[in-house]
Structure 1
């Protein structure tokens, strides 16, 4: 995080909530706190495991990590 008043101060949090709000919260009504937590957990699992990210070359984080591990293992063998 950046210094107070820096343009980078809340950039990570704002980016996260920019995706969360329209994809999970808008036009939804949750009946309990437990249901809300469950839906949030499901969305996070999707976001972190299955959603493709442009910053990772349109790979999922899991695919990107596997690719990174494979390339690192190959460089150790060579």
Structure 2
């Protein structure tokens, strides 16, 4: 069931905003890409890193993929 919050409540977007904040701060800062394809490849590399290797303190200091294995 999709959750719908009232106008002005940011809770539904919080996980997405956090992800994009991490992407910009940890991965993209200072990078210049000659083509859109180069940027797409790099963002996909970050998503793979984010899900498989980057530890998350809210998940008990394990990667999301590991967390899903034991959940």
TM-score where L is the length of structure 1: 0.75
Say how many residue pairs are matched: 68
1:26 equivalent to 2:29? Answer yes
Runs of 4+ displaced beyond 4 Å: none
Please give the root-mean-square deviation of Cα atoms over the aligned residues, in Å.
Answer: 1.5
Give the TM-score, by structure 2 length: 0.81
Higher-Rg member (1/2)? 1
The answer on whether the counterparts of 1:49 and 1:61 sit within 8 Å (CA) in structure 2 is yes
- Greater relative contact order: 1 or 2 (C-alpha under 8 angstroms, separation 6 or more)? 2
